[in-house]
């Protein structure tokens, strides 16, 4: 089963005050790191969803150099579910599932992605997600059978609605990877999780 990846990097980064995609971690940007996590974990193709106009700027160049296909979410006031839809549409027809990773989760491990893919291939579950100490995290695998549901414009809470709808058939994968639950969303998050003792 071919599995694609989607990096969600079109957010406004209003709480961080600067582009989260271009923040640095160990010599590379969050955008490069999250693309690498998906590719190294076994995703055959990765779509990096960027804000309008960014595919032709530095984020697009970084995405291409790291091996991803940059695509743009051009909707004004777009939500994360809109970026997920753009990313799913950019994946090849042979993709049987997609693993979605927000760009502000750069501390997840590629082995977690590999574990999600193994679980999907063995179970065929519609949704597979990592769980660290009983806490679900990111990235999350969505099988193609739920992509039409994710495209429904009436979803009140985006992908969460689809996750709740399939609660009985989700496969949770226990993971020893604290990074799946770390959302680097504010300068304080960055200082605490990425650059202790440093400066943003």
Query: What digits encode the pLDDT tens for the residues 99-152?
Result: 999 999 999 999 999 999 999 999 999 999 999 999 999 999 999 999 999 999
All residues at 6 or more sequence positions from 101 whose CB lies less than 8 Å from its CB, including other chains: 5, 6, 7, 8, 34, 37, 38, 108, 113, 138, 139
Per residue in 62-83, pLDDT (tens digit) is 999 999 999 999 987 788 999 9
pLDDT at 197: 53
Per residue in 11-70, pLDDT (tens digit) is 877 778 788 999 999 999 999 999 999 999 999 999 999 999 999 999 999 999 999 999
What's the mean per-residue pLDDT of the chain?
94
Domain boundaries in the chain?
A: 2-190
- Whether 196 has a pLDDT exceeding 80, the answer reads no
Question: 2-190 has which fold?
Answer: Spore Coat Polysaccharide Biosynthesis Protein SpsA; Chain A (3.90.550)
Closest C-alpha to 132, from 104, 112, 161, 117 = 112
pLDDT at 32: 97
């Amino acid at each position: 089963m071919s599995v694609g990846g989607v990096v969600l990097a079109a957010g406004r980064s209003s709480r961080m005050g600067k582009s989260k995609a271009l923040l640095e971690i160990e010599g590379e940007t969050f955008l490069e790191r999250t693309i690498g996590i998906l590719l190294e974990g076994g995703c055959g193709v990765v779509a990096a969803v960027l804000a309008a106009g960014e595919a032709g700027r530095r984020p697009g160049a970084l995405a291409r150099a790291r091996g991803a296909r940059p695509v743009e979410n051009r909707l004004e006031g777009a939500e994360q579910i809109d970026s997920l839809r753009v990313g799913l549409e950019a994946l090849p027809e042979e993709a049987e599932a997609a693993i979605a990773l927000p760009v502000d989760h750069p501390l997840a491990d590629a082995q977690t992605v590999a574990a999600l893919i193994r679980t999907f291939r063995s179970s065929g579950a519609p949704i597979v997600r990592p769980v660290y100490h009983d806490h679900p995290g990111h990235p999350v695998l969505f099988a193609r059978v739920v992509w039409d549901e994710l495209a429904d414009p009436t979803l009140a809470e985006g992908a969460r609605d689809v996750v709740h709808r399939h609660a009985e058939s989700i496969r949770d994968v226990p993971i020893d990877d604290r990074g799946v639950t770390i959302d680097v969303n504010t300068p304080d998050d960055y200082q605490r999780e990425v650059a202790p003792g440093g400066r943003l």
